[in-house]
Each structure stands twice: as structure tokens, then as C-alpha cells.
Amino acid sequence: MMKALIVILVVFNFFVLSFICIAKEGLTEEVQIDGSSSVYPFAKKITEKFLKKYPNRKVSVQYSGTGGGFKKFCAGEIDISNASRLMNKTESKKCHQNKIEFIKVALAYDGIAVILHKNNTWASKLTMLDLKKIWEPGSKVVKWSDVRSYWPLKTIKLYGPGSASGTFDYFTKKVNGKEGLSRSNYIASENDTLIINGVAMDQYTLGYVGFGVAQAHKSRLQVSSINGVKPSDLNLKKIKISPSYTLFRNIYMYVSKKSLKQKHISSFVSFYLQSSKKVADEISGYVPLEDLHYKHELKGLSKILKDKAMVPE
């Protein structure tokens, strides 16, 4: 009886020690990511590649909008915040108050797509003035004919991101001149799927989402040109030379320095950076930054972690 008890205790201790060793290697720890819905497809793709290579690791990728992500990030609730705009002063101050130090990394180029129903035959060539007329605060546009008199005498139904979205911030600044300036009587959501579905089901709707998101649903809707230029991977690539499409931007990730001290997170972030160029090429709607940019970011990360092996030759 005593021998059996000893054997059980030895086996139990072995499993406990094994679990502790695995935990120390970070295999049972989870990387927590939240933020921009526009960056979500990009982050999700990289995460899938990471988990295919390291199936024992855990990574949670969620989206609550850029502002929603920063709120959690600056409260210390997540490790990485995806963003479709830069952190503003209020958010930065909140992080500082909570002693959340971070690094910021530009990941790729993205654009904003103005989306229409597949059967919309009149608004495929919009201008920035059209968009301002539709989306400015106090807009008098109720019907399509209020935008241009020869357009249908039908009520225009609008969909767009909510105020916690970086896409909302960027779009309103480019169209109306200041972040947050927008008409309020539209269907707002941080869930891009709701916006896509709304536009896809009604001929007289208009909305806007990240171009990468729109491309993932291109069989269900159409994308309007803006000032004579239709967003495409090729046009976004021309941004490196000259901005041919008006509504373009960078996408980012913010990483907590405290989180980076944990091996399971630093290894994920290193993989993320080394995969970003390839993934931006693979997913329609995103365009990679210059090669030197990614190498520079990896050098910066390796300097923080003092790990020279992180930087590819």
C-alpha cells in the first residue's frame, strides 16, 4: 500500500513539474490582442500561420475598434492593440498614468473603401465633395437625389463604423476636416460584418470600411472610385511613389513593453514582424511597407530584448 502511494506521489510530482516547465516556456500562456477591425484580418492571418508552426501556443485575436482596443491596452488588460490610426493624446496620457510603456509598429498600408450594393448603377464614381455632402454634421442628404439631382428619388441608408473605430476617426478627418465630425443619423457599428451585410442587402445603401475588409467580401458588393481613382492593390502600391488614392493610411500595432518581457509574447511579436511583409502581399487590400522598414522594426525590438538573433540577415 505504501509503495503504491509513493508511486502515485512520484507520478503526480512529475506531472506538476512538467506543467511548471511548460508554463515557464510560455506554452500555456495566451497572447491577448484586441483593437481595430480593419487590422483584424491581417492579425488573424499571421496568428493562423503562427499557430500552425507552434500548435501548443495560445493567441486570442478580438476586435472592438481602435479606440476600444486602446482603452483595454492602457488599462493593462491586453498585450497588443491593433490600430488603424495613431494613439491620440488622451489615450497616451491614460497609458502614462497607468505606467503602460509601449512600442508602436507600422505594419502595412491600408485604404478605406466606400461600398455600395452590387446593383447600384449611379454612384460608382463619387467625389470627396459628394462624401462631405453626405457625411458632414447636419447633412441635409436624405435621398440619393439630394446628392445629385439626377440620382434616384430614394432614401439613402447609411452604414459606417462607430466612434470607437479608427476608420471612423480617419474617414471623418479626411472627409470633414476633423476627427469625429460626422452626421449621427446612420447605422453605426464596430462590427464590419454588420456593415457589409447591411450594404449587401439593400440597393439604396452606402457605407465605408477598411479596404482589406471590403476585398474579403468583394463578391457581395462594389467599391466606388473617389475623385476618379478606384482603390485597388495596385493603386495602394503607388502610394509609395505618389498618393493616387485619397483615402489611404498606415495600420499599426502597439505592444506593451511589460508584456514583451514574457518570452511567449516577444517570440510572437518577432514572428509577427517577420511575417508582415509576406502577409500584406498575400491578402488583397493590404500593401507591404518597404523592406528596410521591417528590418528596422526588428532591430528596434531586438535592442529592447537584447536578442540579435531576432534580426534576419
> Which pLDDT does position 62 carry in this prediction?
95
- Tell whether the model's pLDDT for residue 249 goes beyond 90: no
Q: Do 214 and 223 meet the contact criterion of CB atoms below 8 Å apart? A: yes
Q: Buried (b) or exposed (e) across 14-53, using 16+ Cβ within 10 A?
A: eeeeeeeeeeeebeebebbbbbbbbbbbbbbbbbebbeee
pLDDT band at 246 (very low <50, low <70, confident <90, very high): confident
Distance CA 279, CA 256 (A): 23
- Average pLDDT, stretch 257-268? 92
Nearest to 307 by CA among 266, 259, 275, 278: 266
Q: What whole-number distance in Å separates Cα of residue 79 and Cα of residue 59?
A: 11
Sign of CA dihedral 69, 136, 231, 190: positive
> Using CA atoms, how far apart are residues 125 and 115, in angstroms rounded to an integer?
11
**Residue 122 CB neighbour total at 10 angstroms:** 13
Q: Would the CATH topology of 25-109+251-310 be identical to that of 110-248? A: yes
Quote the pLDDT of residue 21.
Answer: 43
Residue 86 has a pLDDT of 93
On whether the CB atoms of residues 216 and 208 are closer than 8 A, the answer is: no
Assigned CATH for 25-109+251-310:
3.40.190.10
The grid coordinates listed for 223 are: 467599391
pLDDT at 239 over 80: no
| Percent above pLDDT 90 for the chain | 66
Q: Residues 149-158: pLDDT tens digits?
A: 999 999 999 9
Q: Determine the pLDDT at residue 238.
A: 55
Q: Strand locations in the chain, DSSP E?
A: 30-35, 58-61, 80-83, 102-117, 125-126, 157-160, 187-188, 205-210, 221-223, 225-226, 248-256, 287-288
Residue 248 confidence class, pLDDT cut points 50, 70, 90: confident
Largest CA distance in the chain: 93
Fold of 110-248: D-Maltodextrin-Binding Protein; domain 2 (3.40.190)
For 10-37, what is each residue's pLDDT tens digit? Answer: 434 443 444 344 344 444 489 999 999 9
Q: How far apart are CA 79 and CA 266, in angstroms?
A: 10
List pLDDT tens digits, range 151-202. 999 999 999 999 989 899 999 999 999 999 999 999 999 899 999 999 999 9
pLDDT at residue 237 in the model: 58
Can you give the residue ranges of every domain in the chain?
A: 25-109+251-310, 110-248
When comparing pLDDT for 6 and 33, which is higher?
Answer: 33
